[in-house]
Amino acid sequence: MQQQQPQNQQQQGVMQHPPKVLSTKDHLYLTDMMSWNLMAMKKAHFYADLCQDQDVKAALDKAGQMHQQHYQKILNHMEMHLQEKTQPSAGIQQGMQQNMPQQ
C-alpha cells in the first residue's frame, strides 16, 4: 500500500532569486531581525565588559561581532533593495541618505 503525502508536505519549487518587491510583512520581519541582532550585539558587549574571565569575555565579544555582522548584512540588503527601487529618482535617494542616521 502506497502512502499519500499531505498536500502541504509536497516539495515546493526553490526560489532562485529574491522577489523585487518587499511586502509589508517582509519589511516588518527584516526590521525585527535587525532589532534582535542589535539587541544581542549590545547585550554581548555589555556583559563582555563586565566579565573577568578572559575566555568568557572573548566568547561574548565573538558573539557580539557575529550579531553586528548579521545586522550589517541585513542593512546592506535593505539599502540595495531601496537603491534598486529608487534609482530612476536620484533626488529622492539623496534625500533619504541625508536623513539616515550615521553609524
pLDDT score, position 103: 47
Question: pTM for this structure?
Answer: 0.62
Q: Give me the mean pLDDT over the 73-89 stretch.
A: 79
pLDDT score, position 13: 78
Rounded (10°) CA dihedral 72, 76, 78, 80: 180
Residue ranges making up the domain that contains 60: 38-86
Number of domains in the chain: 1
Contacts of 20 (CB under 8 A, 6+ apart): 84, 85
pLDDT score, position 61: 96
In this structure, is residue 91 part of a structural domain? no
In this structure, is residue 69 part of a structural domain? yes
- Residues 28-65: pLDDT tens digits? 999 999 999 999 999 999 999 999 999 999 999 999 99
In this structure, is residue 4 part of a structural domain? no
In this structure, is residue 55 part of a structural domain? yes
